[in-house]
Amino acid sequence: MSTNRYDFNFQENSRKRSAARLLYVSSAKYGGDWHSTPHTHSCSELFYVTGGTGKFLIEDQSYPVSADDLIIVNPGVEHTEQGVNASPLEYIVLGIEGLELSGIREEKESHYCIVNFRGMKDNIRFYLKNMLAEIEAKSPGYEIICSSLMEILSIYLTRQTDFSTTLAPVRRKASHLCAAVRRYIDSHYKENINLDLLASMNHVNKFYMVHAFTEEYGISPISYMIGIRIEEARHLLKNDDYSLALISRMLGFSSPSYFSQSFKKFEHISPGEYRKRCKQEAAKRADTP
């Protein structure tokens, strides 16, 4: 009889389990008829392409992706995916709170990366499919199994990537969330935005989101949005002859009266009075030799 024994040589940093939390797992299939919209999340997202071809748009850069590509996107990084009708893009996506890419490659910051796992696709697909099966069945202990599978996948990433990166704990999760919310408001303030929409897009509780945003910027998300609208309204009132009703619609206010009420709250003067004052000041400047 022969026996082989292998002892574990634990490193200090390997004794602690990851503090990351798996928020969601989903599978998707998109063709060219689906119109994607760039968006951000407060958590990291890991996309594993299981079939088809398409493109991944990350911060205005386009990257072709195909089977067994893994795309990792840090919190607050704008991204979206695009499929084609001829070969619909299929993938599994994980939302992970508490982890993000932390290393730096020589030529660019590693707030996202794309790695191909074709050489070990059987292992990766096995873990992902088991994770999907567990979270769908929700049998006792499924959370522990899914979290363990997520940690295994993160280790494979560390081994496979040619980036000098690892997945590391996020030190300021709330800041990433707040930055994502603020970035979305900055780009979409003319649209119908509410707290439920902002919270749903970032996969967080809306009360936590409001608290974190207010703590970070000293103003609530909705007040911040209205402030941007009022700033744009000042420009329109000063430089254009649009009616108050039209400006109200252009800037996403539900009614002219709500626009006037909001403007007066921020500026301590009505929109009509502000426009009149601007015209008077312009006339004085014109009369000044």
- CA 59, 61, 62, 65 dihedral sign is negative
Look up residue 126 and give its two tokens.
């096995």
* Degrees, nearest 5: CA angle 65-67-70: 65
Region of 6 on the Ramachandran plot (φ > 0 left; ψ -120 to 50 alpha; else beta): beta
Which of 146, 179, 120, 144 lies closest to 26 in space, CA to CA?
146
Gap between the Cα atoms of 126 and 139, Å rounded: 18
Q: What is the pTM of this model?
A: 0.57
Alpha carbons within 13 A on the beta-carbon side of 207: 0
Alpha carbons within 13 A on the beta-carbon side of 243: 6
Evaluate whether 65 touches 53 at the Cβ level (below 8 Å): yes
Lowest mean pLDDT segment, chosen from 22-36, 158-172, 198-212: 158-172
| Domain layout of the chain by residue ranges | 12-169, 173-284
Question: Is 173-284 the same fold as 12-169?
Answer: no
CATH assignment, 12-169: 2.60.120.280
Answer yes or no: is pLDDT of 261 > 90: yes
The confidence score (pLDDT) of residue 145 equals 93
For the stretch 4-55, pLDDT in tens is 666 655 554 444 455 677 888 888 877 655 556 777 776 788 899 999 988 8
Percent of the chain whose pLDDT exceeds 70: 82
Per CATH, domain 173-284 is 1.10.10.60? yes
Helix axes 256-267, 221-239, angle to 10 degrees: 100
